[in-house]
Amino acid sequence: MNVAATLRAAAEIRRLTIQAMASFGAGHIGGAMSVCDLLAVLYTDVLDVDPADPGRLDRDWVVLSKGHAGPALYAALAQRGFFDVAELATLNADGTRLPSHCDRLNTPGVDISTGSLGQGISLATGVALGKQMQGVGGRVFAIVGDGELQEGQNWEAVQFIAHRSVGNLTIIVDENMRQLDDFVENICRPFSLHEKFAAFGLPVVEADGHDVVAIYDALATAMAEPGTAVVILSTEKGHGCSFAEFDGYNHYMTITPEMADQADAEVDRRLEAQLEAIDG
């Protein structure tokens, strides 16, 4: 990977996501910010996708189970060339192709409609198994939140994955320790996600979800496994946007143009520091 290019992509995805939400006046800022680094690695270094042919059968698929982070996915797709970056300013507007939660019928590059939390692993499993049965190439990446892993359907899907030896699937957990209105630990104690996935025989890799090199290495390790593997990324809800980096309610926030401009400047400063660190 070109680390500098991926860092720049992550910064741009953050910038575009914040500005899109500011255009609407509000958004699910916390959970969107926590996956920006992951999306940069996927769309810059990992995925086999083609903006000119988004429906290609043997492409890689992304299932954003935590669909409220859709604006970050839209930013990544726009940056990759699936549609014009200017369209991000229509987020949630009447007639937009960019609704709050992902809709495959509206947005180029969105593979699966999501937003009903807890269903993404099941959907991704169906796609992966279909590819496997039909001999169609391409890998499926399911991005799930730690809060939605309280839903029992996830573990039914994992049991099915293990039973059917489903390959070509990578489950990525955005473990930001928060859900809608409190810490996951306070809502319904998750215990060890690593141990829970491992109990079904799935290999598990853990990494810092805001270190693009660590994310890339973890994905490479998981993809080298013959069957489904799990990557658990330790993240911070709201990461990279100081007005959303706090212990209070940051799931959905009002965002003014002034807040967005301040965040843009912060993103630039952090990127400059990151680039200096890898150069020095």
pLDDT in tens, 181-205: 899 999 999 999 999 999 999 999 9
Beta strands at 253-254 and 26-27: parallel, antiparallel or unpaired: antiparallel
- Residue 170, beta-bridge partner list: 141, 229
**Residue 207 is encoded by which pair of tokens?**
């990494």
Cα–Cα distance for residue pair 183/195, rounded to 1 Å? 20
Contact 35, 143 (CB under 8 A): yes
Cα–Cα distance for residue pair 40/49, rounded to 1 Å? 14
Query: What's the pLDDT tens digit per position in 126-175?
Result: 999 999 999 999 999 999 999 999 999 999 999 999 999 999 999 999 99
Instruction: Write the burial class of residue 279 (CB in 10 Å: 0-12 exposed, 13-18 middle, 19+ buried).
Output: exposed
Beta strands in the chain (DSSP E): 26-27, 61-64, 140-145, 169-175, 178-179, 182-183, 204-208, 229-234, 253-254
Single out the residue of 222, 30, 227, 243 nearest to residue 145, CA to CA: 30
The DSSP output letter for 248 is S
Cα–chain-centroid distance for residue 209?
10
**Residue 126 is encoded by which pair of tokens?**
């169906």
Angle between helices 120-134 and 152-164 (to 10 degrees): 20
Contact 161, 205 (CB under 8 A): no
The pTM (predicted TM-score) of the whole model is: 0.96
Cα–Cα distance for residue pair 2/6, rounded to 1 Å? 6
Return the H-helix or E-strand segment holding 191: none
Cα–Cα distance for residue pair 232/191, rounded to 1 Å? 14
pLDDT value of residue 247: 64
Single out the residue of 92, 95, 106, 87 nearest to residue 16, CA to CA: 87
Which residue ranges in the chain fall short of pLDDT 50?
none
- Residue 144, beta-bridge partner list: 173
Map out the domains of the chain with their CATH numbers: 3-279 (3.40.50.970)
Cα–Cα distance for residue pair 192/199, rounded to 1 Å? 11
Cα–Cα distance for residue pair 214/248, rounded to 1 Å? 28
Single out the residue of 114, 118, 119, 86 nearest to residue 100, CA to CA: 114
The DSSP output letter for 45 is I
Cα–Cα distance for residue pair 230/206, rounded to 1 Å? 8
